[in-house]
Structure 1
């Protein structure tokens, strides 16, 4: 039986520089190059993960896909 992983409790955002980025993500707006630089430079990794997961769920739902590649060596 396959079950979904439990959603972790919301963590407080610790980097105030992520506030405008969070607002853009929630509004569905595109991020700028400066926003990307801020995401790359922040030490608040969990907030970045939560923002990325929010975008992923909005685009693809709560489904995960995988691919199995098998390469048979006949020698």
Structure 2
């Protein structure tokens, strides 16, 4: 049976901080602890990373909501991009890095 107390994402796909906190009350303890550390700005351990990589279901919902919250906090909703053109005028590449068509 589906738990009706779990917050659903809002129409715009994001959760308020109150909804995120409510969602964290429904996740497993290891996932909640790792997400709490990330939200606090603490470094994550390897064990935290493994826990987060293994998230499914409600744990994954909480992880995505927390990541969206951190993104919104740091950069907001403005999206930008950079057109990066690296033209090697010699047509000769000694780096062989695979970044451009000359390598």
Runs of 5+ consecutive residues of structure 1 not aligned to the other structure: 69-75
> So what's the TM-score if we normalise by structure 2?
0.48
Name the one with the larger helix percent: 1
Q: Answer yes or no: is the 8 Å Cα contact 2:34–2:44 preserved in 1.
A: yes
Q: Which residue number in structure 2 is paired with residue 7 of structure 1?
A: 14
**Matched position secondary structure for 1:56:** helix
Q: Which has the higher contact order (CA 8 A, sep 6+)?
A: 1
CA-atom RMSD in angstroms: 2.7
Q: How many residues matched? A: 65
Unaligned ranges ≥5, structure 2 = 1-11, 84-103
Length-normalised TM-score, structure 1: 0.61
